[in-house]
Structure 1
Amino acid sequence: MEVRGPRDAAIGTADSASEGAAERESFQSRPKLRPGDIVEAVPGVVATQHSGDGKANQYFLRGFNLDHGTDFAVTVDGMPVNMPTHGHGQGYADLNFLIPELVSGVRYRKGPYFAESGDFSLAGSATLDYFSALEAPFAELTLGTNNFRRLLAAGSRTVQDQTWLGAVEIEGNDGPWVVPERLRKANAVLRYSQGSPTRGFSITGMAYKSRWTSTDQVPERLIDSGELPRFGSLNPTDGGKTQRLSLSGKWFDKGSDGSATTLSAYVIDYRFDLFSDFTYFLNNPVNGDQFEQTDRRRIFGAQAARTLPTRFGGLDGVFSFGAQWRGDRIAEVGLYDTQARERLSTVRNDKVAQDLFSVYGQQLVYFTDRLRGYVGLRGDALRYRVEGREPVYGALNSGKGHDAIASPKAGLAFALTPQHEFYVNAGVGFHSNDVRGATIAIDPASGLPADRVPALVKGRGAELGWRFQPDENLTATVALWQLRLDSELVYVGDAGTTEPGRASSRRGIEATLRWKLDRAWRFEVDGALSRARFRGLAPEGEGNYVDNAVEKVLAAGVTYADGPLTASLRLRYLGPRSLDTLNSVLSRSTTLLNVGVRYALNPHLTLGLDVFNIAGRKGNDIEYAYASCTAGEVASGVCGGGIDGRHVHPMEPRSARVSARWTF
């Protein structure tokens, strides 16, 4: 049996300079502080955290602070991860249910240039696939700093063409925080697959549950004055719990003529409760500003795709088409004022149903041996219904509606020589807004009239690219890109959610290098520069900088794998960025250096060591600029309308984890 992951994009097969597949040896060997770190295998992506490890990562890509996933679409084993109309933020993408050791491949595309890509994929998309069979069953125990412990057992069994795969993960962690995180996590995967490489099916069940206490971002002024330790908390009752159950199935058939058909379906049951406090005693000097966000939903989906070889006017080509449906039945998406996790009042409590229907087609044509191109068209139709259950304004904020959008795509690839290929890509894409914003009439927090927003928002992008690939061991790419959005999704720190903002424009340049020096050594370098600005005349008192838009990212890594030894060294740099629209407050840059080592003592026992932030840098995973007020500032009378300043979530200090894997 031979198990392979997706192959990287190559000259003659790639459709753009910014698409590809990460090499499995690279993303599996690199140390991962959290499961979501695996998306950093996508060039230019940064994944951080500004709360507890049960909460979705904070993502950055192409001049976006993606919050927890807006404009970056992620799928795992064919199921979408991003959540529309989510209790915490639009496009929320929680990858904590992921078991990184089961990931067989990470494929990625950037920009709205491809017909298969839909909601939330304006900046890019990542597809994570799971193995159907493992080389051998194993059990691994990991212990680390700050009471980290993890037990993972996984294995598969194949009889003729039938394979069972199972994995169980249990994890706990307190973190470096003064208030221990007390992460408690359980995870399981069970898969049955049958068939051959050309035709077969699989059924997969997943179960995940987690609870934690979080230390959210705190005012930097308190750390500077010594009133609060760097890893201290202003509310020890912040935190949350979540769970996810899923069942999915996939059937595929690959014809001898190059055709392929895929059918898949899934159902997900999801629960989420989060308690946060970002402004402390600014809005409620008596009970404090903690709030609870809830989400209870079931997600249903199905998709079909077909690929056919074509021939028109003597020209060979490939036609791809498909249809997709996703239905979210949200029994409760709520926002509540709380104190020590006890509800004081209801801000919003809604029942939502929304369906997104999609069809697409894309025709690829080989004009000559050196020139090929494609055109595509995608159509998406959204139907939604909001039932407000908050007693004062709920009925006024209820409603139903629909929206639709057509997204044309096109691209050309020209091979100047067998080693050099150039690309031109352009397309229209979209992201959805929280549909509660499409039916709102009254702001429930203030009682004032509120403006409605469109349910679907268009974005337009274009890219020029170059790929250099003299052989299979060396690949270099450069991409110049731009993206214009009709409405920006902006993270609002004191509300803990995203809100539609002004139209924006971004442009940038990205470069990647992948070099397999010899049988043992691999080098990787990714660099990205970008510029993000709001378009049009700025409102009074504001500027045109897109707050928290990352402008400089650099990642580099080296991997050594020979015989029993595997070692990986990873460097990540995240440059300073504007924290307000006037560019008057800048974040600090952060540099992170991690190292991981694995050594096989014998065919059964492998020992490992991961060291995170090996240089002991005191950077911040996230920084925001807004006004807040602590209990002490209220008591001393210095609060007024709030004290503006940076609010930071510190990067974790140097820590280490040791592991022992027994292969049966």
Structure 2
Amino acid sequence: MLIRKTHQLIWCTPNWCVALVLTIAPCISPAHTGVVEIEVVGNYDNSVGSSDSASQGVINSQIIENRPLLRPGEMLEYVPGMVVTQHSGDGKANQYFLRGFNLDHGSDFATSINGMPINMPTNAHGQGYSDLNFLIPELVQRIDYRKGPYYAQDGDFSSAGSADFHYKTKLDKDFTQFTLGQRGYQRFVGAASHELSNGMNYVVGLERMNNNGPWSTPEGLRRTNGIFMLSDGSKANGWTASLMSYQARWTSTDQVPQSLINSGLNNGQPFGRFDSLDSSDGGKTDRSSLSLDWRQSHGKVSDKVMVYAINYDLTLFSNFTYFTNDPVNGDQFMQKEHRNVYGVKSSRQWVIDGDVEWINTLGLQSRSDLINVDLANTQSRSVSSWIRQDKVRQNLTGIFSDAQANWTPWLRTNFGLRYDQYSTHVKSVLQNQNSGAATAGLWSPKFSMVLGPWQKTEYFFNAGKGFHSNDARGTTAKVDPIDSTKTVASVPGLVASKGYEVGIKTEAIQGLQSSLSLWRLDFDAELVYVGDAGGTESGRSSRRTGVEWNNRWMPSSKLVIDADLAWTKSRYNTEDGSGVFVPNAVEKVALLAATVKDVGKWNLTGQLRYIGPAALVEDNSVRSNSSSIINFKARRNSENNQAIYFDVLNVFDRKFNDISYYAPDPLRTVRNGTLISDNALVHPGEPRSVRLTYAIKY
């Protein structure tokens, strides 16, 4: 039996021209002309004149420092309208929700750090798997975000939007932080930055975190994270090399039947909100990467080249149906993968002056994934039988062009065009019928028009086509991996999306940055690769429409108020008898925050996050509950560059669910002759957590 999860299917790429770039880039150093380039940034860079749409912007480090965070992945909640939860252990990728999408672990939202992609196509657990747990929030300089398929530089996984995390290449001061919290929470993070004798600068950072969480079976999360960056030059002329390493181990408490929580009993024994039905669930992951980012400007021409390599491992043990399929041994399964990723990104931008100023960009992006991916039935993390084993070689190459025309002081347009070529080769070890190769190509035109500013107000119109790639195993599938007597239909490599948006951005009121956008996004197919079963479910075409209203108000230098509100309607375009609601599509989202700065030695932030209800089945007969939680953070600066941070997460200890699922057939959990039947599964949100941090700069 399968639990209904909603994913949208997603991506891949190759690496020709990598050798050329690897040969040239390290040999070029920035020209030292004696001119000092100064970059000035504030809390936000979402002002009038800074973007091509009302739903594009930048979040800078000052905001990140003041917001409370339960998990690293919640940094994406700085993107207006995005909410982040978890349905399993904290070593696993988060659940993301934006613009009526249950993005699951990352599908249809592209993320990168220092230019390297985070999303994993043809992942063992889910297409586009985006694990942000290796982020170190204290080192993030800024987050660039864009929503909608309107930007030529954004390819796969970006129909709903994208976010690029950029680490600091220089620190004002070295620092060390120690954090202690309830339920075994311990965290150390330290970083140092210095200039070398030849003018280059390095940043080194280290993080270690332990956590048991509120779960009856302790999570035992052990996370180790390190980064080393070497850079020279400036943002326009220079280069940055990054070396990162991350590993995590954990035990997870997955979602459980709501009926057990309501009754408080399981086979006559007490059962609480944070209890588990399989204490051997959990996983481990390792990620290491090396990248080189080179930039050079000469006259009105700017060149950028980036190359990267990623080594990645993931092993997950999950049991979402407990004893439904196997009443004796249980339904636990293992998803495992090992991959190497190689990629290149390059672009040239040049300006043509005249009666109309043209800013032109031409770029190439190419990525190759070499993957071994397995699925097996297990009991207490020991393999009992294999379901499928595959060796996958997957490539995605995109070329794009963008032409911005400044027609008048109050009118500018962007014309973009992108072509992506997908190719994959799958060798199915256990079901040779599922071996094969597949290719696909797709053109994606883009257009933006910006009017203004008039009275510090701009007006936007955006339109564009995007896409997501599908899991490579689905593109060559011919038989069901569980029952080889059943035939299945293969799916296309690329699936198109189409979006439109009108918006307004204004600073007409002193101290207030406000934006309003009305948008629509259509998908050709809601195809779902079910990593839990190793197969692909076909879906219908869909349409999502919504309104977003985002506000940043600074009534004084000591007070910042944020209010981000989003409303979304998500529907299938055709009726098949089951209904037209898209399951798990959150309809309303709100984030309200207030920060009081520099009141004596104190900074204080309070934040309210609201996640509205969602249909869990197509006919809307079963719905999830809404949730509202308040988080609080206080920082007291002391003498000698020391500070104390006090975080209270879920201040009022609200009982809520991080996520809810609906099982099409009741779970049948049989133990000692006891039958438990339930369609509803939930993963409880964490109770109130208090954390205390000591930080020192030197």
Q: CA–CA distance in 1 between the matches of 2:479 and 2:41?
A: 51
1:375 aligns with 2:412: no
The AA in structure 1 aligned to 2:410 is R
Alignment correspondent of 2:31: none
Q: Determine which of 349, 352, 360 is the counterpart of 1:310.
A: 352
Q: Determine which of 663, 681, 686 is the counterpart of 1:647.
A: 681
Q: CA–CA distance in 2 between the matches of 1:439 and 1:110?
A: 31
TM-score in terms of structure 1 length: 0.95
3-state SS in 2 of match to 1:588: coil
Higher mean C-alpha displacement, 11-20 vs 468-477? 468-477
Alignment correspondent of 2:210: 172
CA apart distance, 1:353:
0.4
Call closer, same or farther: CA 1:96–1:500 in 2, change over 3 Å: farther
Alignment correspondent of 1:195: 233
Q: Determine which of 145, 153, 165 is the counterpart of 2:182.
A: 145
3-state SS in 1 of match to 2:475: helix
3-state SS in 1 of match to 2:76: helix
CA apart distance, 1:256:
4.5
RMSD: 1.8
Q: Determine which of 226, 244, 247 is the counterpart of 1:206.
A: 244
Call closer, same or farther: CA 1:101–1:503 in 2, change over 3 Å: same
Q: Determine which of 545, 551, 554 is the counterpart of 2:581.
A: 545
Q: CA–CA distance in 1 between the matches of 2:128 and 2:41?
A: 27
Alignment correspondent of 1:260: 302
Alignment correspondent of 1:353: 393
Call closer, same or farther: CA 1:307–1:512 in 2, change over 3 Å: same
Equivalence map 1:23-422=2 (5 Å)? 23-159=60-196, 161-227=199-265, 228-257=271-300, 259-311=301-353, 314-330=355-371, 332-390=372-430, 393=431, 395-415=432-452, 417-422=454-459
The AA in structure 1 aligned to 2:315 is D
Q: CA–CA distance in 2 between the matches of 1:72 and 1:497?
A: 22
CA apart distance, 1:537:
2.7
Alignment correspondent of 2:544: 506
**Contact conserved, 2:458 with 2:505, CA < 8 A, in 1?**
yes
Q: CA–CA distance in 2 between the matches of 1:11 and 1:256?
A: 27
- Alpha-carbon deviations, 1:264-319, whole Å to 9, x = none? 1100000000000001111112211100001100000011011111246x211211
Alignment correspondent of 2:27: none
Alignment correspondent of 1:590: 627
Call closer, same or farther: CA 1:4–1:141 in 2, change over 3 Å: farther
Q: CA–CA distance in 1 between the matches of 2:468 and 2:549?
A: 26
Call closer, same or farther: CA 1:630–1:177 in 2, change over 3 Å: farther
Q: CA–CA distance in 2 between the matches of 1:140 and 1:303?
A: 35
**Contact conserved, 1:281 with 1:628, CA < 8 A, in 2?**
no
3-state SS in 2 of match to 1:36: helix
The AA in structure 1 aligned to 2:435 is S
Q: What is the total number of aligned residue pairs between the two structures? A: 652
The AA in structure 2 aligned to 1:653 is P
Call closer, same or farther: CA 1:634–1:529 in 2, change over 3 Å: farther
> Identity across aligned pairs (percent)?
42
- Alpha-carbon deviations, 1:419-476, whole Å to 9, x = none? 2211110000000110100000001112210111101000000001011113783210
3-state SS in 2 of match to 1:442: coil
Q: CA–CA distance in 2 between the matches of 1:655 and 1:185?
A: 19
**Contact conserved, 1:88 with 1:496, CA < 8 A, in 2?**
no
**Contact conserved, 1:146 with 1:174, CA < 8 A, in 2?**
yes
Higher mean C-alpha displacement, 643-652 vs 560-569? 560-569
Alignment correspondent of 2:25: none
1:487 aligns with 2:528: no
CA apart distance, 1:5:
5.6
CA apart distance, 1:155:
1.0
Higher RCO (CA < 8 A, seq sep 6+): 2
3-state SS in 1 of match to 2:574: coil
CA apart distance, 1:197:
4.4
Give unpaired runs (5+ residues) of structure 1: none
Call closer, same or farther: CA 1:32–1:601 in 2, change over 3 Å: same
**Contact conserved, 2:580 with 2:618, CA < 8 A, in 1?**
yes
CA apart distance, 1:489:
4.3
Call closer, same or farther: CA 1:169–1:343 in 2, change over 3 Å: same
**Contact conserved, 1:90 with 1:498, CA < 8 A, in 2?**
no
Q: Determine which of 544, 550, 560 is the counterpart of 2:596.
A: 560
Q: Determine which of 546, 559, 567 is the counterpart of 1:529.
A: 567
Q: CA–CA distance in 1 between the matches of 2:185 and 2:272?
A: 21
**Contact conserved, 1:311 with 1:317, CA < 8 A, in 2?**
yes
CA apart distance, 1:11:
2.1
Q: CA–CA distance in 1 between the matches of 2:510 and 2:234?
A: 28
Q: CA–CA distance in 2 between the matches of 1:251 and 1:260?
A: 11
CA apart distance, 1:500:
4.6
CA apart distance, 1:407:
0.1
**Contact conserved, 1:433 with 1:457, CA < 8 A, in 2?**
yes
The AA in structure 1 aligned to 2:358 is G
1:657 aligns with 2:698: no
The AA in structure 2 aligned to 1:657 is R
3-state SS in 1 of match to 2:433: coil
Give unpaired runs (5+ residues) of structure 2: 1-35, 266-270
Q: CA–CA distance in 2 between the matches of 1:173 and 1:423?
A: 45
Q: CA–CA distance in 1 between the matches of 2:246 and 2:166?
A: 17
Q: CA–CA distance in 1 between the matches of 2:391 and 2:528?
A: 24
The AA in structure 2 aligned to 1:376 is G
Q: CA–CA distance in 2 between the matches of 1:165 and 1:187?
A: 14
3-state SS in 1 of match to 2:452: strand
CA apart distance, 1:414:
0.7
The AA in structure 2 aligned to 1:509 is V
